[in-house]
Amino acid sequence: MEFKLITVPIADYKISQSPDILRTILGSCVGICLYDPESRIGGLAHIMLPENNDKSTNPKKYADSAIALMIDELRKKGANIEHLVAKIAGGASMFKMPENSFIGSIGINNVQKVREILDNYRITIISQDVFGDYGRTVDFFLETGKLKIKSLGREDKEI
């Protein structure tokens, strides 16, 4: 079967199924991979900020609203919500800023919020590659649930 490589832009998510591959590029943003290993249906969200306090803006930009939308769409596509597992990546500190500044803490705040929301949904994070000071390109393989991570000047990882 032929797979499609589906690019997930910033402040968006995509849902697909095996054998497709979902790809995005992350810095301080967080990539959230949700996967049902039985149906092999999954999604990848590329969130920019932790919380949606402005309901008139794009809800896919924020961890709280994007995860809720993605879970609902996964269910509609045939994923069993009780089987969902998560992998997360990103949340880097891309700029030399104090951690207590807004810019310096975006990645940390994004990761903390994603962990909190997934915990509230009782979705286990089975692996993660977060923080650091470097960007990542991630490929989420819906055939296997593997997440391949590439970073400039670093060994490729698979989680």
Q: What is the 3-state secondary structure (H, E, C) of the chain?
A: CCCCEEECCCCEEEEEECCCEEEEEECCCEEEEEEECCCCEEEEEEECECCCCCCCCCHHHEHHHHHHHHHHHHHHHCCCHHHCEEEEEECCCCCCCCCCCHHHHHHHHHHHHHHHHHHHCCCEEEEEEECCCCCEEEEEECCCCCEEEECCCCCCEEC
Is 33 a residue of the active site?
Answer: no
| Average confidence (pLDDT) over 111-131 | 98
Of the listed ranges 30-34, 96-100, 110-114, the least confidently predicted one is 96-100
From 21, 29, 84, 147, active-site residue: 29
Q: Which domains does the chain have, with CATH numbers?
A: 5-158 (3.30.1330.200)
| Average confidence (pLDDT) over 13-32 | 97
Q: How confident is the model at residue 103 (pLDDT cuts 50, 70, 90)?
A: low
